[in-house]
Structure 1
Amino acid sequence: MKSGIKDEVLASYLSDTRPLYDAAKRCVGQLSGILLLLQTDSLDRNRNDLLLASVTRQLREATDRLGAVKAPPKAARHQAALADLLVLLGRILSRLDRLADLIDPASPDLDAVVDALFFAQRSLRMVSEPSAGLTPVDFTAACCNCRPAKN
């Protein structure tokens, strides 16, 4: 992968964690989508189970793979933050799975899940590294108005 990171060990680590970051990004989106569908009574229970199973699988795989990645000392905090993000997403997933039939707009449980999703999004941005392709949104294929300026 071509990146702007000159430290080869760090660049290798970030390259190894990019698929895990991407999985976390997908899970944030899927969990947010499930919550939105629950709130609008638009979620088919059979589809819900498929979506939850997909998120479960992605989180399990990402967690397993992250455990196998050797972080250089410079990246220890990054790896810990990514691990914390995956744990948080697992907690959100289990709450949505348990609350799927109970959520109503006035529910304090709903507020807790929404707050957790906002925190997960902030955490995702915190572990981003645009020079290594770890970005919440990839603008590299965007139209000229959205593409980041080249330095």
Structure 2
Amino acid sequence: MQKLILPFVSGFLAALFFRESTYALLHAAGLIDATGFSTTPFLPLGIPEFIANALWSAVFAVLMAWLLRVAPDNRAPWIGALVFGGIVLTAVSAFVIDPARGIWPAGNMLPRLAPSFIANAIWGWGALVFMRAFMARGEAR
């Protein structure tokens, strides 16, 4: 259960509590136009974008837990989680999801990718926070 369900739930919660909140804070600071918790329908499913992002993040949290070997007896790979979230989720968004939605990578992508990198890196850290919290709680039982 700790290898699949806990990382999945951790990634989902981290997307809601960490990544979307980071987008909201960046918007409140006037650094980006997009706000967190976008209710724009995610095509073709029609569910709100923030729920679709949270579901995809949950899948990637399972991959992150496996690659970084997150376990109660191992030290927490904090830097690895930041790098995984920032690079992998941003790359998948820019080069897989956006082209599937008709948004092609072109020109100077730094202004568009920098906020995503920051929010996704915070997501990686947050997912690890939740994983470690859930694993520690599971050990106490």
TM-score exceeds 0.5: no
Q: What is the TM-score with the length of structure 2 in the denominator?
A: 0.29
Q: What is the TM-score with the length of structure 1 in the denominator?
A: 0.27
Please identify the structure whose Cα radius of gyration is greater: 1
